[in-house]
Amino acid sequence: MDRFIGQSPFFGDEHRRLAASVASFVWREIEPYAAQAEGASDEDFRALVALLAEADLLRFAVRSRPDARLDVRSLCLVREELAYSSALADAAFVMQGLGTYAVSLAAPEHVREFWVARAAAGRAVAAFALTEPEAGSDVSSITTTARLDGDAYVLDGRKHLISNAGVADFYTVFARTGTRADGRAEMSAFVVSPKMPGFSLRERTRLLGAHPIGEIEFKNLRVPAEDRVGGEGDGHRLAMRTMNVFRPSVGAAACGMARRALDEAVAHAKRRRQFGAPLSSYQLTQAKLAEMATELDAARLLVYHAAHLRDAQLSEGDETLHQSDLTRAASEAKLYATEAAQRVIDDALQIHGGAGLVRGSVVERLYRDVRALRIYEGTSEIQKLIIARELLKE
C-alpha cells in the first residue's frame, strides 16, 4: 500500500482497495507494453480501451446512468496509477470520461443510452471536441457554427488538437449557435459521428509524447436536432461542468508521473556509483531527492483535497461548500501538481545524467509526456487567473 493513500484522511477503505487493485493491474497488464506506446496503432489503442473496460476501470471515468455520480477521488486514483506507467493508458481512460460527461448529463435518453453505454463497455471510443485553431483557452471565441435547418443542425468549421481524432467513434462537439450581446459565442453541444457526410479528418498530429490527436473538419454536416446535447446555448455550461469535474484528475496524472520519476531517481541514486561511492551518499543528490519528495507530497495533498471537496458536494450536498471554493481548489491542484511534476521529472533526469537522455528510458519518456499536462484543460497561466479571480471575490 502506498503510504500516502494509507495515511491520508481523504480516502475510505474502498479507495485504498481500489488503489492497490489498480496498481497491481497496471504492473501486470500495462507496464510490460508501456515503452511501446509511441508505435501504437489505432487498433492497439482500441485494444487498450477494451482492456480498461474488461478490468472494470472505465466505470470510474464514465457516468453511465443519469442517477449515477462520478467519485472524483476514485477517478484521480485510477489516473495516478495509470500515468505512473503509461501516459497513453491514462489518456485512453480519461478521454472516455471527457467525451461522455456532457452527454451523460444532458443528451436525450436514446442518445445517452446508445453512446454512453458503448463507451463504458469499451466498445466505442469517445472524444471531446472544443478547441479550435484560433480558440484555445478562450472557448467563447469559437468559430465553428451550427445553424438550425429544419429538423437538423448544419455544422461548419474546424476543431484542432482533438484527442482521439481519427480513432473516435463519436465526438461531443461544441459549436456557435448564436452570438451574445457582448459579441461572444452562444455555444451548443452535439453528438457527431465520423460516419456522417461532411465529416473529415484533416490531419493526425504528432506530439512530444505518444498521444492520438489531430484536427477534424465539418462541411455542411447535418446533425439531427435530437442529437443536440442539452438546450440551445447550454454548451458553455456543459463544457465548464466537464472541466470542473475532470480538472483535478489532470493533477493526479501529473502526480503519477512524478511518483514514478522519484522512484526511478531513488533507485538509480542507490545503484549508481561515482568517485567510489553511491550517488545517494552525496548531499547534493540527497537535497534533490528531498525537494522532489516534498513537492510530490504537496501536489498530492492539493489534488486529493480538491477531489474530496468535489465528492462532498456531489454526494453529500454539503451546503458549506461554495462553487468558488471548488473552482479555486481544482485550479490550485491542476496548477501546482503539473508544474511540480515538471520540476520533479527534470531533477530525476538530472540525477540519471546521460542515461536519462537515452531515448526510450523511463525518465526520458516521462520528460516528454509530462509537458502537455501544463497546457491542456487550461494552461498554467489560465489557472492562475482563475485562482486570482476566485480569491478577489472573497
CA separation for the pair 248, 244 (Å, rounded): 8
Query: Is residue 157 a contact partner of residue 113, using CB atoms and an 8 Å limit?
Result: no
Handedness of CA 216, 218, 219, 223 (dihedral sign): positive
Q: Take residue 278 and report the three cell numbers written for it.
A: 553511491
356-362 contact pairs (CB < 8 A, 24+): 360/35, 362/260, 362/264
Kind and range of the H or E run holding 199: strand 199-204
Question: How far, rounded to the nearest angstrom, does the alpha carbon of residue 192 sit from its chain's CA centroid?
Answer: 21
The active-site residue out of 215, 339, 377, 390 is 377
First-to-last C-alpha distance (Å) of the chain: 39
H or E element in which residue 327 lies:
helix 323-352
Identity (one letter) of the amino acid at 231?
G
10 touches 312 (CB < 8 A):
no
Ramachandran angles phi, psi of 315, nearest 5°: -100, -30
43 is catalytic: no
The residues that are catalytic are 377
